Amino acid sequence: MFRLAHISDVHLGPLPGVTYRDLASKRAVGYVNWQRNRSRHMQDSVLDTIVADLKAQVPDHLAVTGDLVNLALDGEIEMARLWLEMLGKPHDVSVVPGNHDAYVPGAFDKACRAWAPWMRGDGAEGPVSRETFPYLRVRDKIALIGVTTARATAPFMATGFFREGQARRLATTLSETARRGLFRVVMIHHPPLRGAVPQHKRLFGISRFQKTLDRHGAELVLHGHSHEPTLNYWIGPSGQRIPLVGVAAAGQGPGGSHPAAQYNLIDIEGDRGDWRILLTRRGLSGPAMPPAEIEATDLTNGDAPQLLFKS
């Protein structure tokens, strides 16, 4: 059995010192939002509790699907690098960036340089960049495929982008790993589902991503961004059901508009074309309560509140 853990939307705090020059951009809007909302509900103590409980489950690998920071300040990106070092060795932790990690022009490149060891494919050398996504890591029989949707956007927008070049590379990666009989996990920040988030947070290129799944399949898609513990399915080749799994924000304290912090554990057993997948959600169930199991779902049976069929 392979145990894969999944967290997202960490939003590490507190913010480092912010200058007026820093705020002469979209960051001014984000800074106000942090002061009014996120600073009250995104709590480092909650994140520490979640991570400690996650490590106690002894996962074989950890997927982090974006939004490690808030305004993508230089100090935040460095703080996130130090946090990743604490979280685990690059061999054992795979990261894809979120929209907050590319909050303003230039931030994405800085994050790629700082977090490269956690976002580099097996055997890859040289710098990490937009062109090195999707990356591929293979652990046991599991193919971990990291996609980026992160790009700087205008104020009040949190959209993602999945463009043609990355779609072609993803198709090749999915086909090659399918031939090897691997269990393919696609990690992406923005949910690749219409209506999953408000319009100003949607994914551009969603049809392109869905058509790639239509043609080449996958065994599991993990995403973040919505701050919600969601479960849906996409129908892939030959009627294959592909679970699309979201997760609550890892630093979300109780009492907010979104569920309190959770993480996913995915236990994977089986072999080529005959897999068993058990999803267990663990997280906070009360203001002063330690993390506990919230629900367990056998994804092999197609249990889900909604089935989404290819168009």
What is the per-residue pLDDT for 311?
A: 33
CB 211 within 8 A of CB 311: no
What is the per-residue pLDDT for 307?
A: 43
What is the per-residue pLDDT for 29?
A: 52
CB 6 within 8 A of CB 266: yes
CB 228 within 8 A of CB 252: no
Domains of the chain listed by start with CATH number: 2-308 (3.60.21.10)
- Determine the angle formed by the axes of helices 74-87 and 107-114, rounding to 10 degrees: 30
Three-state SS at 246: coil
Here the tokens at position 48 are 């520490």
Three-state SS at 151: coil
CA angle 132, 195, 229 (to 5 degrees): 75
What is the per-residue pLDDT for 43?
A: 64
* Averaged pLDDT, groups of 10, the chain, 311 residues long: 97 68 57 53 78 97 97 93 97 98 95 98 95 98 98 90 98 98 98 94 97 96 97 88 96 85 96 92 80 90 48 33
CB 118 within 8 A of CB 85: no
**H or E segment and range at residue 281:** strand 274-283
What is the per-residue pLDDT for 91?
A: 98
CB 231 within 8 A of CB 302: no
Dihedral in degrees, nearest 10, Cα atoms 95, 101, 102, 103: 160
User: What is the rounded CA–CA span in Å between residue 83 and residue 264?
Assistant: 19
Task: Tally the C-alpha atoms within 13 A of residue 280's C-alpha that lie toward its C-beta.
Answer: 13
